[in-house]
Chains A and B, each alone.
Chain A
Amino acid sequence: MTQPSDFQLTAGTVIDHLPVGTAARALQLLGLPREGPITVGINVPSPRHGRKDIVRVEGLFLEKRESDRLALLGPNVSVSIVRDGAVAEKTVLDVPERLRGILTCPNPTCITNEEPVSSSFVRLGAFPYSFRCTYCERITRSADL
């Protein structure tokens, strides 16, 4: 089986090498569909990773905070920017050691959920990622964020 190819991207983004089962979460994180058309491949064979999910969105170009969020979904997630029907740029996403303002602390009594302050987390180790809130110091797994 090949990757879904109902349409060819002219200008947009391919989010590739998502762990199987995370495509829907990726759409949710990005607030999609706000652009499109979108094709979603789930449990697609991958020469390198066995199986993967893949999302292709016409007209979408990610901001840094959006790609930081996507990076939480897996260790090898890549983002390719397509222009004029060809891949112009490909990046394998990396989770920064410090995440500021892109997540919400799940601790309801954390001060960041009351005061006008950006959330702040420190990444602990490699995938599967855990994060310590800089403020309330609670440790949260990425799946719970």
Chain B
Amino acid sequence: MAQNHDATEAFRGRSVVSTADFSKDEILALLDAARAFDRYHDGPVWTPQPPELQGRVLGTLFFEASTRTRLSFESAMLRLGGSVLGFADARISSLSKGESLVDTIKVVEGYCDAIVLRHPREGAARLAAETAHIPVINGGDGSNQHPTQTFLDLYTIREAAGRLDGLKVGFMGDLRYGRTVHSLTEALMHFDVDLKFIGPENLSLPQELREHLAAHGRSGVEVEHLQDAGDLDVLYMTRIQAERFPDPMDYERVRHAYRVDRAALEPFGEKLKILHPLPRVNEVAHDVDDLPGALYFRQSRNGVIVRMALLHLILGGALPGRGDA
């Protein structure tokens, strides 16, 4: 297993706030570390022995609802032998009594060794990371960043396609407000990837992301309909949220136009990998689930693997089974 030692060391004790904070080497080091934890590729997630993080505590502060992110972080920490504490609803935290985020972080850092934070305000994770003396991992800050989602997306694409370079990746749905689209696009700019964006005009890419792509000599093909996207290796679906549309009629029109089913995906062949950060509403029909390229539940499972690797790199020691993994 190839390991870039410096890049691996770069994670130790570090906060994870934004995808942009990580170099290509660091991202690849994390994906390689995750592969070492993915021992039973087609089976249950491995529980390493001896428990590497026994006695360590992860605080999970979720000021906003989450299922996958919170549970997969908790699962990852428990499988590494550590413990978790925290809350899943801001209403039961001191925030409901008017406590500031900064005060909450200063208190909670006394209770644990690292914090996972989800917060409705953009920039909350950066502020928490500046405040805390322990690592803070961003579990989603408003519409801004969700870096561990991006890492598990990259892991899943590389696992399924065998590579990241040379792929044609299409994003479909809410390109404007979908933080997963923005974070993954930014990370994919490290690789030789053709980017395509498929979505309604009123949910098209933010101008600043377009400019960011152009400033790095990259461009993405933007089309309104999937059939105009040309060949694709990966289709990354996102949910279009009703609240983005002032007129409910507009939402109804769009949500049916940006739904894929088995028939719509047939022209792309069996090689097409279909990803979705979940939860889905109706944008991916259930008849797609049985396609070999339907990877969204694999993504959820990989979320545990990648978060185990991340916690290991931030809090732990040597890689598990180094030399025989």
Contacts and interface: CB of A to CB of B under 8 A. Distances in A.
Q: What's the interface size class on B, roughly?
A: 10 to 19
A3 interface: no
A116 B126 contact: no
A111 B127 contact: yes
A23 to B, nearest CB: 30
A110 B126 contact: no
A97 interface: no
Interface in A67-90: none
A115 B122 contact: no
Contacts of B100: 115-116
Contacts of A134: 123, 126
Nearest to A124: B215
A137 B123 contact: yes
B123 A111 contact: yes
Contacts of A137: 18, 20, 122-123, 144-145
Nearest to A113: B121
A135 B127 contact: yes
A5 interface: no
B208 A135 contact: no
A139 B119 CA distance: 20
Interface in A91-145: 107, 109-112, 114-117, 133-139
A135 B102 CA distance: 14
B208 A139 contact: yes
Contact of B122 (A110, A116, A139): A110
Contacts of B141: 111, 136
B145 A110 contact: no
Interface string B113-134: 0000001111110110000000
Interface string B3-44: 000000000000000101000000000000000000000000
Contacts of B20: 137
A109 B126 contact: no
A86 B296 CA distance: 72
A68 B120 CA distance: 31
B101 A109 contact: no
A133 to B, nearest CB: 7
Given A134-B126, A135-B126, A135-B127, A109 B145 contact: no
B220 interface: no
Given A111-B122, A117-B127, A136 B142 contact: yes
Contacts of A136: 121-123, 141-142, 144
A81 to B, nearest CB: 36
A109 B127 contact: no
Most central of B20, B120, B124 by chain A CB within 10 Å = B124
B198 to A, nearest CB: 24
A110 to B, nearest CB: 5
Contacts of A116: 100, 102
Contact of B101 (A107, A110, A111, A139): A111
B63 to A, nearest CB: 11
A109 B122 contact: yes
A115 B127 contact: yes
Interface string A14-41: 0000000000000000000000000000
A138 B18 CA distance: 13
A115 B131 CA distance: 12
Contacts of B120: 109
A114 B119 CA distance: 12
Contacts of A110: 121-123
Given A114-B121, A135-B122, A109 B142 contact: yes
Given A109-B121, A111-B121, 14 more contacts: A107-B122, A109-B142, A109-B143, A111-B123, A111-B124, A111-B126, A111-B127, A111-B141, A112-B127, A114-B101, A115-B101, A116-B100, A137-B20, A139-B208
15 contacts: A109-B121, A110-B122, A110-B123, A111-B126, A112-B123, A112-B127, A115-B101, A115-B102, A135-B124, A135-B126, A136-B123, A137-B18, A137-B20, A137-B145, A138-B122
Interface of B: 18, 20, 100-102, 119-124, 126-127, 141-145, 208
3 closest A-B pairs by beta carbon, nearest first, are A135-B123, A136-B122, A111-B123
